[in-house]
Structure 1
Amino acid sequence: MLAACGSTADSGAAGATGAGGVKTDKGVTDTTITLGIMGDTSGVFKNLGAAINAGNQLWADSVNGAGGICKRQIKIETVDHGYKADTAKTLYPQLEPKVLGIVQLLGSPVLAALKQNLIDDNLTAAPASWSSEILNNPNIMMIGTTYDLEIVNGLAYLQQQGLIKDGDTVGHIYIDGEYGGNGLKGSKYYASKHNLTVKESKITSTDSDLTNIVTGLKGAGVKAIVLTTTPGQTASAMAANQALGLNVPVLGNNPTFDPALLASPAAGALGNLYVAASSPPFSAKTPKAVELAKEYKAKYAGAPLNAGVDVGYVEGLVWQAVLEKACTNNDLSRAGVQTALKSLTSVKTDELVATLDYSSPGAPPTRGVYIAKVDPKAEGGMTEVAPLFTAPDAAGYKAPFQK
């Protein structure tokens, strides 16, 4: 009688059978599916993190308003690790028992710290981090392309525009660690195909004044600078680029720009900054991006207009595809989520990112990017200058764990 009334399913017990005959374990009851956020709303990526959180919630609101998934409402549990791996390690055991999976796990250092936990708990996580070095973790559900491929595509765009050419020297300023190292991998690969010389400058995540580094790059005769940095470091590099009269184009990975920089002393120096990202800038004119921007401004009036909203919404859309497939399979357990994910070969997101294929372990699920350029007049501070594309060099790139 107790089982028939659903008490076992409501507890989220391992191996339970819930409403509709669907197998469940942690994070799922007869009425809810709970997903987690491990984000950053107090650290160096706090503005990006808050926008991604908002995108996650807008997706959940949309799904719930349409009746939910598998006759269950989406619930989100949120923790803030402040981009600190040790804090994340403390918060993880508090969150893990409550959730079926993680809709957003922000930060390369955090992902590295929790890698074995995710594997041991068979917990699927969508990272708000895009290093191809994490694709050997079967529990990672990458949303979009990776840092190395962002840079390959971005450098290809600069060359297509005549801003760099074969044989040039480019500088790459990068944070020591998985984030920075993966961006650098893209520069080195593109350089190997186009006879470029890459002048590497390694920094820490807490370095704030990059003037000396940019001075050195000027002395090396660089024709462009690549950044895999925090937004604050981007501001310093851009200010030095202008103040030293270097004024070369600068290409950044997707986390390098924050619209708040337009209110900083470096605002006037940002005009040469291009950003390569899987998702479009906030001001993009694709129909879904326009719709999402309108919803965000209505629900979060006064909040910064940040492209992280699209990132968060896409994380939700991919989770939706996985959950709907798992429901069709009558298995909303963590193992069922993994099975569903690996069966997806063509996840579409209304062009918020390129079509995603999760059937090849170790390979990025897509290779396409948008290119945006800083524009103080645009909502969110950036204007799309290249629609979704994949450069030939990116198409031929083999990721570290790709088979």
Structure 2
Amino acid sequence: MKRTATAVVASSAVVSVLLTGCSTKADNSGGSGSGDSGGVKTDVGVTDSEITLGVQTDTSGVFKVLGLGLTNGNQMWVEDVNAAGGICGRDIKLDVQDNGYKPDNALPLYDQQKTTSLGLVQLIGSPILAALKQKLINDKMVAIPSSWASTNLDAPEVMMVGPTYDVEMINGLSWMKDQGMIADGDKIGHIYIDSEYGQNGLLGSEAFAKENGMTVQSAPVAGTDTDMTAIMAKMKDDGVKAIAITLAPAATGSVVVQNAAQGMNLPILGSSPVFAPNLLADQSVTAAMSNLYIVGNTAPYGDTESKLAGEIAQKYPEKYSDEPNLGVNQGYVEGLVWGAVLEQACSDGDLTRDGILAAKKKVTEVDTQGLMGPLDFSKEGAPSGREVFIQQADASIPGGLKNVEPLFVSDEAKNYKAPFEK
């Protein structure tokens, strides 16, 4: 299928998203975080000198590696913004909490953070969003989830950054067809975690298959399942020509190993969360990774095509001992998005939660400087971006991922209508 490549020109300024027009609007403010502060309306999480954004991450559960990367990326953005003078005359402050990827932990943490934070710059991940979604709506609390299920785009409070899982899958399968890996009439296997994450990826596979005369053999698994031996044997017996996966990294390792061990040697397409660099610590997994293609919504750590990615990779080891991963750049983009919304809200003179929701609808483009494709938050129910990278594992580089296809969008992904898209 025809694809459209996205040309990226990186800006020399790390924080080019910042606008100077309203950076001094509250210079003379003496507000207490509510009411009218220096001509700007405020309520929760905003004082005359600070804007507090919450982070609910995972630094102790199954997505610990990603959570650390995201949080470090968030913090790097904060440091750059504050060094450049802040936003609306205020420094950005993060309130970082670990939910361990457990809804039971996330709920009381949210009840604390909603009283002190304007919104959430990071909320990891799908089960946490499911548990908190109605609370976010009730409290008008804008949050960026580390979850990209398009079925959550019915709520404007969910500020999803970049292509959703269904759009990722459509783009990835279109690319595989272009490469001759699959063809009209083929059967595609799809192994997915039976959650909104996996189900949304499957929605994309099924949409692509319908448009291209293919069929999908689906296999749901639990999020804790890591042994894919039997499922891969079934896929082999069913004669699938390729396998799509929306899994956690540990299960991905089993899929690629069994793909080789059972002599299948099929192309495997994974959504962006299927990979973590620690998979490459196992030589048997590393050797089997050659058939895995990852649909990335963000440039890999250290990407040479983005000047900003290079600057982040240069500074990261000076600040953090945690192993870098894709989450570092994702976390920085989360910050850039919040920065664009805050600048718009400042220009509007309204840093309340209502003001943030109104400002979000006016943000038609966020310049991510090559870390991600262009982002537009003005279209109700639509993914904010549709461009993706195709990536593969590479144990020789920090972060463990390299691009094999630069940013592009397929015709199918352009024309796809998400469940709540108007």
Tell me, yes or no, whether TM beats 0.5. yes
- Greater CA drift, 230-239 or 79-88: 79-88
Q: Point out where structure 2 has 5 or more consecutive residues left out of the alignment.
A: 1-27
- Alpha-carbon contact 2:227-2:254 (below 8 Å) kept: yes
How far does residue 244 in structure 1 lie from its aligned partner after superposition? Answer: 0.5
**2:76 pairs with 1:76:** no
The residue identity in structure 2 corresponding to 1:362 is G
The residue identity in structure 1 corresponding to 2:200 is N
Hey, what does 1:244 align to over in structure 2?
A: 262
Quick one: distance in 1 between partners of 2:392 and 2:367? Answer: 25
Using the size of structure 1 for normalisation, the TM-score is 0.95
Hey, what does 1:294 align to over in structure 2?
A: 314
**2:116 pairs with 1:101:** no
* 1:160-171 equivalences in 2 (<5 Å): 160-171=178-189
- Whose relative contact order is higher, 1 or 2, with alpha carbons under 8 Å and at least 6 apart? 2
Q: Deviations over 1:127-173 (max 9, x none)?
A: 11111011001101111110000010011111111111111111100
In structure 2, relative to structure 1, the CA distance for the partners of 1:64 and 1:246 (3 Å cut) is same
Hey, what does 1:361 align to over in structure 2?
A: 380
- Greater CA drift, 186-195 or 279-288: 279-288
What is the aligned-residue identity percentage? 49
Hey, what does 1:375 align to over in structure 2?
A: 394
- SS in structure 2 opposite 1:188? helix
- SS in structure 2 opposite 1:380? coil
**2:235 pairs with 1:217:** yes
**2:237 pairs with 1:231:** no
- Greater CA drift, 101-110 or 376-385: 376-385
- Alpha-carbon contact 2:163-2:297 (below 8 Å) kept: yes
Match of 1:335 among 346, 354, 365: 354
How far does residue 6 in structure 1 lie from its aligned partner after superposition? Answer: 6.5
- SS in structure 2 opposite 1:371? strand
In structure 2, relative to structure 1, the CA distance for the partners of 1:62 and 1:214 (3 Å cut) is same
Hey, what does 1:401 align to over in structure 2?
A: 420
- Greater CA drift, 302-311 or 181-190: 302-311
* 1:42-191 equivalences in 2 (<5 Å): 42-191=60-209
Quick one: distance in 2 between partners of 1:72 and 1:6? Answer: 10
Quick one: distance in 1 between partners of 2:224 and 2:375? Answer: 34
Q: Deviations over 1:70-89 (max 9, x none)?
A: 11000000111111112111
Match of 1:324 among 322, 343, 359: 343
- SS in structure 1 opposite 2:384? coil
Q: CA RMSD in A?
A: 1.2
Quick one: distance in 2 between partners of 1:283 and 1:296? Answer: 10
- SS in structure 1 opposite 2:418? coil
Hey, what does 2:54 align to over in structure 1?
A: 36
Hey, what does 1:392 align to over in structure 2?
A: 411
- Alpha-carbon contact 1:272-1:374 (below 8 Å) kept: no
Q: Point out where structure 1 has 5 or more consecutive residues left out of the alignment.
A: none
Q: Deviations over 1:190-236 (max 9, x none)?
A: 10011112110100001121100001001111111111000001001
- Alpha-carbon contact 2:245-2:269 (below 8 Å) kept: yes
- SS in structure 2 opposite 1:36? strand
- Greater CA drift, 275-284 or 136-145: 275-284
- SS in structure 1 opposite 2:235? helix
Hey, what does 2:8 align to over in structure 1?
A: none
- Alpha-carbon contact 1:283-1:382 (below 8 Å) kept: no
Quick one: distance in 2 between partners of 1:222 and 1:82? Answer: 36
- Alpha-carbon contact 1:271-1:375 (below 8 Å) kept: no
- SS in structure 2 opposite 1:186? helix
Aligned residue-pair number: 393
Using the size of structure 2 for normalisation, the TM-score is 0.91
Quick one: distance in 2 between partners of 1:283 and 1:94? Answer: 36
- SS in structure 2 opposite 1:227? strand
Quick one: distance in 2 between partners of 1:305 and 1:242? Answer: 28
